[in-house]
Each structure stands twice: as C-alpha cells, then as structure tokens.
Amino acid sequence: MAGVSSAEADSNLLEGASGEKRKLRLRRPDRWGVFSFLVVSAICLPIAAVLIQVGQESEAWDNLVKTVLGGYLLNTLILVAGVAIVASLVAVPSAWLVTCFEFPGRGIFSWALVLPLAFPTYVAAFVFYQGSESAVPFLIWIRSNWGIDTFLTFELIIRYGTLIVMMAAVLYPYIYLACRSSFSQQGRTVLEAARVLGDSPRQVFFRVGLPLARPGMVAGVALVIMEVVNDYGAVHFFGVPTLTEGVFRTWFGMGDKVAALRLASIVMVSVGVLLAVEQLMRGRAQYAETEDSSAPLARVRLSGIKRWLAVFVCLLPLAIGFFYPFGQLVRWAWLHLASDAGFLFTSGEAIARGTGLAAATAVFMPLLAAMFAYAVRLRENQKRKLMDRLAGLGYATPGAVIAVGVLVVFGTFDRWNLPWAPLLSGSLLVIGFAYVVRFFAIPLQFSRAGMERIGKPVEEASMLLGHGPLATFLRVDLPLLKGPLIAAGMLLFVDILKELPLTLILRPANFETLATTAFSLAKESRLQACAVPSLMIVLAGAMGLLVMNRWMAKPSLND
C-alpha cells in the first residue's frame, strides 16, 4: 500500500508540475497570435472603412439612383455574363483537347494557351479599340442608308461585342488552367470506363468529363468575373461605364465621397455573393477518386480533318488573345522608338520609381505572408483559421474599392491629428500598404503550399532541440520556403506592375508606373508611345506566367 501511495504521490506531483506549466503558458502572451491578428486587422481595415461610411448623408446619391446607377448595374451585368460565357466556350474545349487527345502542336498549345493572361485588359483594349475603327466605313454606310437610330444600335453592338470578345480572349486562361488541372486529375479510370461502355468522345466529354470538371470550372469563371468587375482601364477606354468606373466618376468627378463609398459597397457585396455561390457550387460537386484515377490518361490520337479542327480550336483563342495584340504592340513600339529614340530615357526615371516600388513590395510581402502562415500553423484553432480566410479577402475585392477604403482610413488619421499622420499621407507607404491589402493572398497561398510540403515533424524536431518558434521559422521553415517565396515574389511583381485602378487613385503627385504611363499615353491618343510601356508589362507578365506554369506542374500543388 505504501508503494502505491508513493506512486500516487509522484503522479500527483507530476500532474501538479504540468498544471503549473500550463498556467504559465496561459499567462504568457501569444505573440504569434497577436502578430496574426494585427496583420488581419490591417488588411480588413480599408474594407471595413468602406462599409462603415456608407450610412452617412449623401447629396448626390438620390440623383445617382435616379439617373446612372441602373446603367452601371446593367453594363456590369452584361459584361460579366458575356465575358463568362465566351471565355468558357473557348477555354473548356481547349483544355479538353490538350488533355485527352493527341494532335499536331498539342504540347506547345498546352502551355501557350496561357499566354493571353500576360495582357492586362486595358493594354489589350488599346489594340482592340484601334482595330474596331475599321468598322467606321460600315457604320457610316448604315447611317446613310438606315438612319441615326440604326446607326447607334449597330455602334453599340460593335462596341460592346468587341469589348466582350477582347476581355474573354485575355481572361479565358483562368478557366483553361482550372479545367486542364481538373481533366488531368480525373485520370484514366473514370474516362476510359466511359469509353469501354461505348460512349463516343463527345459523349464522354458531356456525360463524364464536364460534370467532373465543374468545381474547377466554376472557380475559373469566378476569377474571370472578379477581373471583369475590377476592370477600369478597358471599360473607360471603350466608354462602357460600370460600377467600378462609377466609383472613379463619383469620387473624383462629383466630389461625393459617401456616394462613391456606397457604389464601392455594392461592388463588394456583389463579389461576396459571387464567392458564396462559387463555394456552394464547388462544395456540392465533390467527387471521390479510385486508387488508379490519378494514372495518366491514354490520349486518343486524332486523324484526318479532326486533328486540324483541334489545331484550329486551340489556335483561334491564342491568335486573338496574344498574337494579334502582341504583334500590334511590337509594331507600334518599333515605329515610336524609330522616331523618338530618347523616349526610354525621358520617361525612364518615372518608370524606374514605379518598378522599384513593385520590387520592394514583392520582396517584403512574401516574408510577411510566410510569417503569417507560420503563425496560423503553430496553433490551428478556429480563430486562426478564420484569420487565415480573412487575410485573403483583399484579393477578392476590386482595387478601386481598396483604394477608396485606404483613403478613408488615412483621412481619418489626419483628422485625429496623429503626429505621424502627415508623414504617411501622400507617401509611397500608403500605396505600398494598399498593395499588401490587395495582393496578400498570393504569397499566402504559396506559403501555405510550401509549408504543407515541409511537414510538421521537421518543425517539431527543431523545437525538441530547444529552438523556439521564431528560431525554428528562421532556421528551418524560411530556408525551405525559398523556392515558393521567390515564385510568389515574381508573380507579385508582375501583378503590381499591371495594377491600374488602385495605382491611379493612390499614387503621389508626379509618380508613374508602367500601367499609369501606358494608360495616360493612350488617353492622349498616343498609341504608338503607349505601346512601349505596354510591351514591358506584357513581357513581365509572360515571365510570371512561365513561373506559374512551372509551379503548377508540381503534383502536390496541382489544385
């Protein structure tokens, strides 16, 4: 009995000691939790500022509702529906062909079909708008023979149709990438079972392939719609006012901040509804795979006219979305530099400053995202998971909305007479902060994927050797994340170079980037001059796409 009592005493002593340690841990502040909370708060602050301000009085709002709000909503809906449908009709068959069939050039088309994504919509708009002027003689003939009303109808159809085709031609790779990944992951078992049962390739596509690829396709369509809603440059150039352009017009044209914030809140709610629908549709479309379903699919070799039809189906979107605008930009840039060889030197300083800001942000943000992902990983409870979701909210929010929210936040700091507020207002720190809010989801996704590949046992081994969380992150995780963080930094650099609405609103005086330089020159109808910075953006975008393509080729990151 004495032995038992002694063992019980030792057990009670150990339990008491462990209890004291738990109490000490509870009293110790969770520094990583505080860090992740501060990051999420900073990212959500501009978005919350937009929603908070909408309840204030607005003199122009009633007039907007009666006059132009319906037009903004209708134009946005027309573009969203038109671009989503056309892009899907282009992307899904192309992805199916390069995944399931063998035909001339299939290997090249597999990666080349992504290239149109290198074009920002506003850069492609410069080229396509100029090309649409070839319809002017036809419109003049319509006006002479059919009258002004018919002329206006045809002009509207050509303008909207050209804009929809142009946006679909440069945005379809979002759907193509998602569908190509889905078709590849379905593998041999399911699709070949349908073939054995006697289904033709067309029946296999509609009965098996398309339903199984629906989750990925819905995700791709959601990305396309978000890009359309976020666009300012292309719709402004074509004269099709949408909700995002309405934010610009109301804030800077009419000077009514509250009305602009209400328009911005409509954009945010629309995007939120879209994301909720996308999650719901993807959640209902979860399909199990058999053990062999990931085996490579045996491609069907096409022969005769079918193989050339496949080449045509893949070549057409590539020609419209990349070869035509790229060739026109090269031609314009060559003509301009031949007549003004000093253009690069005269605008070089402004371009270098914008490029430097993009580079600095692309270096800082991946490090911040890696620390945030590590903080969430240390203690994966519901609060941390919620913060992880909120941290990516900015990427689903249009740049113009974020810019307006940032102006509200820093304007509030000015009104509070904070001693450091004047140093921030109008500085590069403001636009740098906005870039972090807008694009934080990109390096965060890369960091998450990289940490999943590292595995927790490596971190646990480091902590068993006496290293704390910070030392483990610096000595173990950060070196192993070098590849993902470099890839994320390159994509960030490209996205920041391409960003237009956010930069137009927040840039300090006399501060230019490649995007704002190209847009300003195009507004002045100097299309040959605007081709030079536009071509730089496209080449940088192509470089980023090569990085993304290589990253997506890794099996563990194929989702």
Most confident range (mean pLDDT) of 95-99, 292-296, 325-329 is 325-329
Closest CA to 32 of 372, 370, 489, 265: 372
- What percent of the chain has pLDDT above 90? 25
Per-residue model confidence (pLDDT) at position 552: 59
Question: Rounded to an integer, what is the distance from CA 124 to the centroid of its chain?
Answer: 17
Higher pLDDT, 8 or 280: 280
**From CA 48, how far away is CA 411, in angstroms rounded?**
14
Reply yes or no on whether the pLDDT at 185 is more than 70: no
Mean pLDDT score, 343-371: 83
Cα–Cα distance measured from residue 407 to residue 413, given in angstroms and rounded to the nearest whole number:
10
Query: Where does the pLDDT of residue 473 fall: very low under 50, low under 70, confident under 90, or very high at 90 and above?
Result: confident
19 or 357, which is more confident?
A: 357
Query: What pTM does this model have?
Result: 0.82
At residue 169, the pLDDT reads 96
Q: How confident is the model at residue 29 (pLDDT cuts 50, 70, 90)?
A: low
pLDDT of residue 325: 95
Lowest mean pLDDT among 55-59, 163-167, 195-199, 484-488: 195-199
| Per-chain mean pLDDT for the chain | 81
Q: How confident is the model at residue 527 (pLDDT cuts 50, 70, 90)?
A: confident
> What pLDDT is stored for residue 288 in this prediction?
47
Residue 109 has pLDDT above 80, yes or no: yes
| Residue 334 pLDDT level (bands cut at 50, 70, 90) | very high
- Phi, psi (5° rounding) for residue 292? -95, 5
pLDDT at 17: 44
d(CA 249, CA 303): 55
Element containing residue 101 per DSSP (H, E): strand 101-102
| For residue 1, pLDDT beyond 60 | no
pLDDT at 297 over 70: no
Instruction: Give the span between the Cα atoms of 303 and 321, in whole angstroms.
Output: 27
All structural domains of the chain with their residue ranges: 54-286+303-319
What fold characterizes domain 54-286+303-319? MetI-like fold (1.10.3720)
What mean pLDDT is predicted for residues 16-28?
Answer: 47
Q: What is the pLDDT of residue 490?
A: 84
Per DSSP (E only), the strands in 385-534 are: none
